[in-house]
Amino acid sequence: MTPLSYNTAMNFYQNLEEAIESDSIATKEKLTQQCLEYCSQNEFIAEPDVQAKTFTVPSYINKCKIVEPRALKTRKDFDTKEGLASLVHAIAHIEYSAIDLALDAVYRYRDMPQAYKIDWLEVAKDEIRHYLMLEELLLELGFVYGDFSVHSGLFDAAIQTAENHLDRMAIIPRYYEASGLDVTPQILKKLDNKKKLPFVKKFINILNIIYKEEIEHVYKGDYWFKVLCKLENKNIDIYFKILEKYKLMDKHRPHINANARKEAGFSCPEIRLLGNSECHE
């Protein structure tokens, strides 16, 4: 493989910073691919003297109207294009947010090994592909990203955990992304009786792709959470203390998807503590 034109740590991290701040998916895609290729060729990437930037606003701030979660309209009517589009938009927003979070996991925690960097750059690449599939469907429905209000929950969680890598791995992949494994089957169930409609059928196909790949993403988060626990000489049970710290332990959770969570690295004792008492090893 021909070496890329940039070969310094500074350019690697500058490219990540630009990708995180850009509201252009094309730019994010191009820079993510460049960083992944560079990282794959370089086992050691020296840390630049400049510290990681603290991002004060999400990259979608000029695209979307940001509101409090309770201000978002409940999505119930999927029989109309607008109703379906509102749900597609909500999931597209999660995927868009997940792109920046995966890139930030590489950009911010710079002392991690090559395997860690590659894992999260690959996750970012997947999230970009997920977003593009949803954006295409959104356009077919007559809407664009930004036509519906969004909340900044994932961005806010990233800000709150920026100074604590263990907390980041616990909260983003092991809580929020893992929650997606619980919710997606419920969404698919609601859409099933409308699957003969072309737009709904396409949406179901996209959700199935995302669901399978998100298990792998949560697994990567689970793996690096456990690596960090070992490095910091902490028991993995600290996960629940972290959830309590961020006031997430008592939040309502839908049916916990034991099979998907086990595939993603969760143990049955953890799953039972999260609310599924029927988990069996």
Residues 76-114 have pLDDT tens digits of 677 789 999 999 999 999 999 999 999 999 999 999 999
Q: What is the CATH number of the domain that holds 162?
A: 1.20.1260
Give the global pTM: 0.93
Task: Evaluate whether residue 238 is within a structural domain.
Answer: yes
Domain coverage including residue 246:
9-274
Degrees to nearest 5, angle at CA 74 with 197 and 57: 110
DSSP single-letter state for residue 141: T
Q: What percent of the chain has pLDDT over 70?
A: 94
Question: What is the band of 6 on the pLDDT scale with cuts at 50, 70, 90?
Answer: very low
pLDDT tens string 196-227: 889 999 999 999 999 999 999 999 999 999 99
* SS3 category, 17: helix
Contact at 8 Å (CB) between 22 and 93? no
Task: Evaluate whether residue 96 is within a structural domain.
Answer: yes
Task: Evaluate whether residue 1 is within a structural domain.
Answer: no
Task: Evaluate whether residue 26 is within a structural domain.
Answer: yes
Task: Evaluate whether residue 2 is within a structural domain.
Answer: no
Task: Evaluate whether residue 4 is within a structural domain.
Answer: no
Q: Which of 24, 50, 55, 66 is nearest to 153 (CA)?
A: 66
How many domains does the chain fold into? Answer: 1
Task: Evaluate whether residue 3 is within a structural domain.
Answer: no
Task: Evaluate whether residue 280 is within a structural domain.
Answer: no
Contact at 8 Å (CB) between 60 and 150? yes
